[in-house]
Structure 1
Amino acid sequence: MSGVDHLHELLGLPTVDFQHATGEVPVQAADAAAWRISVDPYDDESEMTWEEAFQAFLKAVDPAGVRALIVGQWGESYEEDSSYPIDLIIAAADRLTSLEAVFVGDMISEENEISWIEQSDVTALLKAFPGLLELGVRGGTDLVFSPTKHERLRSLTIETGGLPVGVIRGILDSELPALERLDLWLGVSAYGGDADVADLAPLLSGTRFPQLTHLGLRNSELQNEIATAVASAPVVAQLRVLDLSNGTMGDEGAAALLDGQPLTHLEKLDLHHHFMTEPMERRITEALKPHGVRVDVSEREKPWGDRGIEGRYTSASE
């Protein structure tokens, strides 16, 4: 699960781990942090469940002031799915009256591989919290995103080693009129990423989310094909940030971007973790940098062995 780290912030608030084991009252005000609640099922010194840790949190801080919650390891999360912590958060909705952001599954590989995290229908959070501005999820196993309507959601992030096509269709069938940022980690077919470029057509048309200014289609084994589709996609005209990083993009995809519609209106083009050659890195940077576009072509990778294109790999899969 390289390229995946614990969140450092959410909703612009710094992450603070709630120290449930000590029972100490946090020094931070409830609204001054993105609170991360996590339990280690193999910690011999603390046998507290996630439910117990969450209840301790609600007693230690003013729930009405909490703006951002990060759900870390909730136990043996490769066996028990995320409906366990989600249901507990929803049950406290009448107390978490200021909640604006939730991230479910903030784990690194030492805790659980990204494709082993058991997820569930995360739209339950959107239904329970009409004021939610940001929703993030890590892990695609059994992930469900039912078509839903939410008036205020501005940011949706789904990080997976393989994103099921049903999730993509659920997102694109949803009514999210305020959505400004969409970040999808598409992953690989070996870990459940069964979508193809055609499944992204409603998104690329630019008709689904009129307020969208930040689009990430990342961590894909189809990164060249995605870049080719994006090169002529109407949605690009409304973007400020285009993120095609963490995947298998090579010179083929970069050339398609350069030969397609102008990208000079972007604030940032993120292509980090790629398989482009150094000359292509220079080409794309020199084409856009004079227009004020920040181009990230860091982390040039090498294919495994002598397998060429077939040896390319995404940043996160297992």
Structure 2
Amino acid sequence: MDHAAHLMKLHGLPGCEFPSPAGKRELPEPENVAWRISCNPYDRDGEEGFAGRFQRFLDTVDTTRVRALIFGIWGEAYGNASSAVIEPLVAAKDRLPALEAVFIGDIEAEEAEISWIEQSDVTPVLDAFPRLRELGVRGGSNLSFPAVKHEHLRTLRFETGGLPGAVVRGVCDSELPALERLEMWLGVEEYGGDASVADLGGLLSGGRFPQLRHLGLQNSEIQDEIAAAVAAAPVVAQLASLDLSMGILTDAGAEALLEGQPLTHLTSLDLHHNFFSEAMEQRLSDALEPSGVQLDLSEKGDEDDDGEGEVWRYTAVSE
């Protein structure tokens, strides 16, 4: 599975690439698609630049009806932060009154590895669009998310090979009373993923996000520690679905989940990309599936044996 491929849809709307200057085709109704705006500097039409392409989008499409925007590559990976997207987007806020969803960094590996994506402070998007319902970000390098207050955000998603602990703390300290879905790919320390279980304390204790029904704490090299913390976390009682996939989750983490609070109220528990033994897989299935929990145990994680008794295990996404 390619965990960093281009989005096919956002906010329930199919993705639609806004064409380059040479692209001649009829455009769909503005509210019926999630508009993807990108400008690869290495393409033939790259000389237009991201700023030029975004301005042409504003001048071409009836932006008063646009509901979702996907921002792809905006320049060379190194030295071009997402502020190049965020600043013109915020400046155009009055032209986008219907905007409900934004994704920043829809960049696949052939364009730039996820660790190369230069992010910035993304919270100005929330400040500029108080009616926004969904915000997604890919890439953790130089990502900033100081604590914010936003009344209407329902979905917040971070896809990274390394999510800074400061970002995790900012999210957990935010006031997001409408938040229903939160997903954070925590990643590995080598790529900036220095978040600890302690950083998740405000979230796991419950009460911070009263409407939260889906929680994803994924892609972590400390996935066993996270599983142990989740096993006793009050927030789990309010969830309908839980995702602890993509990380280095072993039998130890699974044991903690089995010995912790009941999980049989969940509709789904995603543990794909794991390092479980067959015996542990059977125990998990026996404990949860009879209660109707949709359990995902697919995809064995990658591991290397150095021949000297040391086994190296890897998260699904790092570089």
TM-score range, shorter chain: over 0.9
Q: Offset at 1:310?
A: 4.9
- The separation in 2 between residues aligned to 1:211 and 1:3, in whole angstroms, is 27
- The separation in 2 between residues aligned to 1:46 and 1:306, in whole angstroms, is 45
Change (3 A) 1:309 1:220: farther
- The separation in 2 between residues aligned to 1:48 and 1:26, in whole angstroms, is 21
Change (3 A) 1:305 1:2: farther
Q: Does residue 281 of structure 2 align to residue 281 of structure 1?
A: yes
Residue of structure 1 in register with 2:33 after alignment: 33
TM-score by length of 1: 0.96
Deviates more, 1:42-51 or 1:234-243: 42-51
- The separation in 2 between residues aligned to 1:54 and 1:285, in whole angstroms, is 49
- The separation in 2 between residues aligned to 1:15 and 1:257, in whole angstroms, is 37
What's the RMSD between the two structures over aligned residues?
1.5
Residue of structure 2 in register with 1:57 after alignment: 57
Q: Give the match's secondary structure for 2:226.
A: helix
Change (3 A) 1:292 1:171: same
Q: Does residue 147 of structure 2 align to residue 154 of structure 1?
A: no
Q: Offset at 1:274?
A: 0.9
Q: Following superposition of structure 1 onto structure 2, how do residues 110-189 of structure 1 map, counting pairs within 5 Å?
A: 110-189=110-189
Q: Following superposition of structure 1 onto structure 2, how do residues 1-318 of structure 1 map, counting pairs within 5 Å?
A: 2-24=2-24, 26-306=26-306, 310-318=311-319
Q: Give the match's secondary structure for 1:58.
A: helix
Q: Offset at 1:24?
A: 3.3
- The separation in 2 between residues aligned to 1:94 and 1:26, in whole angstroms, is 26
Q: Offset at 1:38?
A: 1.0
- The separation in 2 between residues aligned to 1:156 and 1:46, in whole angstroms, is 31
Q: Offset at 1:59?
A: 2.4
CA contact (8 A) 2:302 2:314 kept: no
- The separation in 2 between residues aligned to 1:26 and 1:253, in whole angstroms, is 52
- The separation in 1 between residues aligned to 2:66 and 2:150, in whole angstroms, is 20
Q: Offset at 1:145?
A: 0.4
Q: Give the match's secondary structure for 2:301.
A: coil
Measured against aligned partners, the alpha-carbon deviations of 1:95-129 in whole angstroms (never above 9, x if no partner) come to: 11100000000111111111111111100000000
CA contact (8 A) 1:135 1:157 kept: yes
Q: Offset at 1:290?
A: 1.2
Change (3 A) 1:202 1:128: same
- The separation in 2 between residues aligned to 1:83 and 1:46, in whole angstroms, is 19
Q: Give the match's secondary structure for 2:158.
A: strand
Q: Give the match's secondary structure for 1:15.
A: strand
Deviates more, 1:299-308 or 1:289-298: 299-308
Change (3 A) 1:184 1:79: same
Q: Identity of paired residues, percent?
A: 59
**Structure 1 residues not aligned, in runs of 5+:** none
One-letter code aligned to 1:217: L
Q: Give the match's secondary structure for 1:256.
A: helix
- The separation in 2 between residues aligned to 1:142 and 1:182, in whole angstroms, is 20
Aligned length: 318
CA contact (8 A) 1:240 1:267 kept: yes
Q: Give the match's secondary structure for 1:137.
A: strand
- The separation in 2 between residues aligned to 1:313 and 1:106, in whole angstroms, is 23
Q: Give the match's secondary structure for 2:156.
A: strand
- The separation in 1 between residues aligned to 2:147 and 2:310, in whole angstroms, is 36
CA contact (8 A) 2:115 2:140 kept: yes
- The separation in 1 between residues aligned to 2:97 and 2:27, in whole angstroms, is 21
Q: Offset at 1:81?
A: 0.3
Q: Offset at 1:190?
A: 0.5
**Structure 2 residues not aligned, in runs of 5+:** none
CA contact (8 A) 1:136 1:158 kept: yes
- The separation in 2 between residues aligned to 1:83 and 1:166, in whole angstroms, is 18
Deviates more, 1:93-102 or 1:306-315: 306-315
One-letter code aligned to 1:111: E
CA contact (8 A) 2:20 2:45 kept: no
CA contact (8 A) 1:78 1:112 kept: no
CA contact (8 A) 2:40 2:75 kept: yes
One-letter code aligned to 1:311: W
One-letter code aligned to 1:34: A
Q: Give the match's secondary structure for 1:102.
A: strand
